[in-house]
Chain A
Amino acid sequence: MTNTTLGKPCIEHKNPLAQTLLEKLDYDQLTNCMRCGFCLPACPTFRETGMEPASPRGRIAMMKAVVDGIMEPDQQFQDQMNLCIGCRACEPACPADVKYGHLIEQARDAIEDHAKHSLPVNIMRRTLFKTVFPKRKSWKIIGGALAFYQKSGLQKFAHGVGAMNMFPEHVAEMESILPEASSKGVIERLGTFIPAKGEAIGTVAMFKGCIMDVMFAGTNVNTVDLLAEAGFNVHIPKEQVCCGALHAHSGEMTDARELARQNVDAFMKYDVDYIVTNAGGCGALLIEYDHVLHEDEAYKDKAKWFADRIIDISELLIAKGRLPQFKQKKESDGVVRVTYQDSCHLRNVMKTASAPRTLVKQVANVQFVEMKEADRCCGSGGVYNVVQPEMASDILEHKMEHANVTEASYMLTSNPGCLLQMKLGIEKHKPKQPMEALHIVDFLHERMLSSK
């Protein structure tokens, strides 16, 4: 048996946004929600507010009410759609398998079609979504500029004269924890093909990500190194672009689809077993390219080929890799306590939760401590902490309370946004004992016994 399709209500909405929502929202999915409420305890914004409108069930009910003509999609409606972090923790909790993530993207896409942003916001969105993210070159320039700012003494100067005080507090906070950027990404450092060490057991392509490759280029290099060590030949397609996740989450679906097509073309040139990511946020969209392009006849099948190959590095290492040995840097370090914060998209969309934990437990002299509610969002949510600073900050505060209890020396995670948020949390809430936030790849790489 499959879902019968009986179509959408036959209504001609006067409100243009309501009409667009009617066109864009998947009405079958709206009907599939049976309002059992099982998603409520999983939702971070419901937990913080205790209010039904800020829950997945509430948001779906509102989308359906708009389409059904019961409700006007007013500003409050739009704000509520934007308050969702998009962590998608509601999806594994949903027994009826409602694709909430798709619904919220469709809603935001519709809202964005009618949005009247102020001029500065419009310019910023255009610059980011149309110029910066889609183009490889712009990331090099950003990386270079940021590196110059950090290394030239300009950052010190800016801090010295209190320049950061001119920015809102949460922006200033973010600036203070930014890692050292670089204009040299993984390809500039390693080239486009890195052979496996020893006998090759497979060939993979690496998705490097745009933020990852500027802010965490070292992590990308380490990722390749780990893959090679584990027996994989690694291609890094030069033509790859931004995954489009930030576009999709911000309602810029047309742009997201264009980026998806470019990436599909870039990777299909290589005969690979897997396409590896080290950022849950990117991976979650990449693995859904088949959905992103499902209406595109020319790309539908290619997108499926692409999506079927997406895998997170930790999952690949555990499932298929020839694992190297991991041990502490110095014997004298004794037993080190380590905890792990799930990347929501890695866990809820890519369904990778146990692999990172299993990997960490393989490092000699590591005591893995499970943090309470490690599976709950940290509040980062791509750019969520910048656009919804209050909610993000409340969520982070609760997260750090749990982090504190673990007494871990390392807080590991698998996504750049989460990593920055954890760094911010540690900086802001100062756990009792020193804690360092690291990408799991970097933690493992530092402790890997290389075969060289």
Chain B
Amino acid sequence: MLNEQVAKRLRDIVGEKYFRTDQEALVTHSYDGTPMLQSLPDGVIYPQSTEHVQAIMKVLHEYKIPVVSRGSGSNLCGGTTPLSGGIVMVMHRMNNIVEVDMENLTATVQTGVITGEFIAHVESLGLFYPPDPSSMKISTIGGNIAECSGGLRGLKYGTTKDYVLGLTAVLANGEVIKTGGKLTKDVAGYDLTKLLIGSEGTLAIITEAILKLVPKPKTKKTLVAMYKDIYGAARTVSSIIKNQIIPATLEILDNTTIQVVDDFAKIGLPRDMAAILLIEQDGEPEVVERDMEKIYTICQEEKADRLEMAANEEEALKLLTARRSAFTALARLRPTTILEDATVPRSKIADMILKTNEIAKKYNVNIATFGHAGDGNLHPTATTDARDKEEVHRVEEAFAEIFDAAIELGGTITGEHGVGTVKAPYLEWKVGAAGIEVMKGIKAAFDPHNLLNPDKMFAKQTKKRVVITRD
């Protein structure tokens, strides 16, 4: 419970309507896109400017009240569930696109802007912002920065971190820092911009961002390759990269995913295939033509059972829509869907899919796999029912083993969703005890009183690594 004085001061900052402690506000900000997590905050606040955020943080700092800043709350790592109560700060009102600078090819935005709306805006100006997480219709740029979101185009274009040039952020004590700028080169001190990207709201509250834009690719071609043997698909991925072609998109869907997506999107996907690869190249017409021809040949060499080049943009868009709805379409199988993002070096993708299937079988759980095959970022997705505690436990054990397998293959526990709550017990597996200590030191330097998104990233206890495959 907040004391009346705090509530009054917060109300004075944002106005009566935008600071709420009523039951419905608390309940509807007690969750995010992560299954089986819920915790009520003590208040919800909607700032409209960096100055608002500053003033709010001064009050919260004075009374040592924790705060979880968030956009649309669509993350999958329990990153914005207010586990320690406190205040949830919703950034939706800060949704201005401040400017698009055509000379420097940058955009300056408030971080509450919806990613999809921002992308539509810059594309209407003939420019391109490549990071495209599957949730972009509802996710905010601020949320994307906090989680360092990836997307389908990560392989060729990189992820959110490659497109953020500068940030305005409010520190736990209410001070404002500005990092970077409309600059390609800037080595003045530690790179705080990169440090804040992916910091999951634990270091500062990001209120404004300068984003890098690139020219919109002139053409795009989409190819679909289907395999009755999933390993043929995996070999194709490795082979394309080995041939030094970097496609804009290189996605994989396994059979379970194919069926579910087709039920949802009804686009006539072949339901008897073990895997589908969605391959896209963009850029100058000649280059696209040449690359796609070469890719076509590689697919044939790896014995693709069916090959289809999308005839037009509409068809291509449909196929991409299928991939985009994969996660959520899986939710139709069972009430609860747990989606992870274990990532391996792209050369190990076949081994990882093989291993995932094996683990799913061992624990007798349903796991469908799809994901960004080109950058090694897979989404093994378990479908279960939160009410079946015994099964959920088996799913958790299976995922622990999947994380372990990913690390063994030189990969990581999370490629693009973040650590948040659910991956915290595994962080040490990846970064080691010394790595955790450094990270904790950074956290303490930014936020000595642990007010910003507490209980995230660092677990009270690291999960025991029960499955040791190395010897």
Chain A interface residues (CB < 8 Å from chain B): 1, 3-4, 6-7, 28, 31-32, 34-38, 40-41, 50-53, 55, 57-58, 61-62, 65, 70-72, 74, 76-77, 80, 94-97
Task: Report yes or no: A35 in contact with B137, Cβ–Cβ below 8 A.
Answer: no
Which residues does B use to contact A, with CB under 8 Å? Answer: 22-25, 27-35, 38, 40, 46, 72-74, 90, 92-93, 114, 116, 135, 137-138, 264, 325, 327-329, 331-337, 366, 383, 385-388
Set A4, A38, A72, A74: member contacting B385, Cβ < 8 A? A4
Q: List 6 A-B contacts (CB under 8 A).
A: A35-B33, A35-B34, A41-B137, A52-B28, A53-B25, A62-B28
Report the 4 A-B pairs with minimum CB-CB distance, sorted nearest first. A95-B328, A96-B331, A58-B28, A6-B387
* CB of B114 to closest CB in A, whole Å: 7
Tell me how far the C-beta of A420 lies from the nearest C-beta in chain B, rounded to whole angstroms.
Answer: 31
- Asked if A40 contacts B23 (CB within 8 A), the reply is no
Q: Contact between B74 and A32 (Cβ–Cβ < 8 Å)? A: no
Q: Is the CB of A37 within 8 A of B331?
A: no
Q: Given the complex, which residues of A lie within 8 Å of B22, measured CB to CB?
A: 76
In Å, the complex CA distance between A96 and B335 comes to 9
Contact A71 B27 (CB under 8 A): yes
Please give, as numbers and ranges, the residues of chain B lying within 8 Å of A76 by CB-CB distance. Answer: 22-24
**Would you call A95 and B331 a contact (CB within 8 A)?**
yes
Closest-CB distance, B18 to chain A (whole angstroms): 9
Other than the given A52-B28, A61-B30, 17 more pairs (CB < 8 A) read: A3-B333, A3-B334, A6-B385, A34-B328, A36-B135, A40-B72, A40-B138, A52-B73, A53-B24, A55-B28, A58-B24, A70-B27, A71-B23, A76-B22, A80-B24, A95-B264, A97-B264
A35-B32, A36-B33, A36-B74 known; A97+B332 contact, CB < 8 A: yes
> Given B27, B264, B333, which contacts A61 in the complex, CB threshold below 8 Å?
B27
- Asked whether B93 lies within 8 Å of A1 as measured between CB atoms, the reply is no
Q: What A residues does B328 contact at CB under 8 A?
A: 34, 36, 38, 94-96
Q: How far is the CA of A135 from the CA of B333 in the complex (A)?
A: 43
Contacts of B93 in A (CB 8 A): 50
Roughly how many angstroms separate A28 CA and B387 CA in the complex, as a whole number? 10
Contacts of B385 in A (CB 8 A): 4, 6, 31
A28 to B386, CA, bound (A): 11
Q: What is the minimal beta-carbon distance from A376 to any residue of chain B, in angstroms?
A: 15
Contact A62 B27 (CB under 8 A): yes
**A1 and B333: CB pair below 8 A?**
yes
Residues on B with C-beta less than 8 A from A4 are 334-335, 385, 388
- Contact across chains for A61 and B335 when beta carbons are under 8 A apart: no
- For residue B227, give the distance in angstroms from its CB to the closest CB of chain A: 23
Bound complex: CA of A230 vs CA of B145, how far in Å? 57
- Give every chain A residue within 8 A of B386 (Cβ-Cβ): 31
Residues of A close to B38: CB separation below 8 A: 70
| Known A-B contacts A40-B72, A50-B93; A3 and B335 likewise in contact (beta carbons under 8 Å) | yes
The interface residues of chain B lying within 8 Å CB-to-CB of A57 are 28
Q: A53, B28: Cβ atoms under 8 Å?
A: yes
| CA A74 to CA B27, docked complex, whole Å | 13
Would A1 and B366 count as touching, CB distance under 8 A? yes
- The CA-CA distance from A57 to B73 in the complex, in Å, is 11
Compute how far the CA of A72 lies from the CA of B93 in the bound complex, rounded to whole angstroms. Answer: 28
Output the least CB separation between A143 and chain B (Å).
Answer: 42
Name the distance in Å between A110's Cβ and chain B's nearest Cβ: 17
CB distance from A3 to the nearest CB of B (A): 6
The 8 Å CB contact of A37, one of B135, B264, B327, is B135
Chain B residues, Cβ within 8 Å of A50: 46, 92-93
**B residues within 8 A CB of A1?**
333-334, 366, 383
Q: Which of B34, B325, B387 contacts A95 (CB 8 A)?
A: B325
Cβ contact within 8 Å between B33 and A28: no
Our pick among B27, B90, B335, B388 for the contact of A32 (Cβ within 8 Å) is B335
B417 to chain A, nearest CB (A): 13
CA distance A1 to B335 in the complex (A): 11
Q: Which residues of B contact A77 (CB under 8 A)?
A: 23-24
The answer to whether A34 and B33 have CB atoms under 8 Å apart is: yes
Contact call B33/A52, Cβ cutoff below 8 A: no
Contact B33 A31 (CB under 8 A): no
What is the bound-complex CA distance between A94 and B73, given in angstroms? 16
A51 CA to B137 CA, complexed, in Å: 17
Residue of A nearest to B37 (CB): A35
User: Nearest-CB distance from A260 to chain B (Å)?
Assistant: 27
- Looking across the interface, which residue of chain B has its beta carbon closest to that of A79? B24
Residues of A within 8 A of B33 (CB): 34-37
B331 contact from A6, A28, A32, Cβ within 8 A: A32
What distance in Å separates the Cβ of B328 from its nearest Cβ neighbour in chain A?
Answer: 3
* Measured CA separation A52–B135 after assembly (Å): 17
**How distant is A35 from chain B, measured CB to nearest CB, in Å?**
5
Question: Are B138 and A34 in touch, CB under 8 angstroms?
Answer: no
Please name all residues of chain B whose beta carbon is closer than 8 Å to the beta carbon of A71 when the two chains form the complex: 23-24, 27
**CA of A76 to CA of B26 in the docked complex: distance in angstroms?**
13
Residues of B within 8 A of A36 (CB): 33, 74, 135, 138, 327-328, 331
Q: How far is the CA of A94 from the CA of B30 in the complex (A)?
A: 21
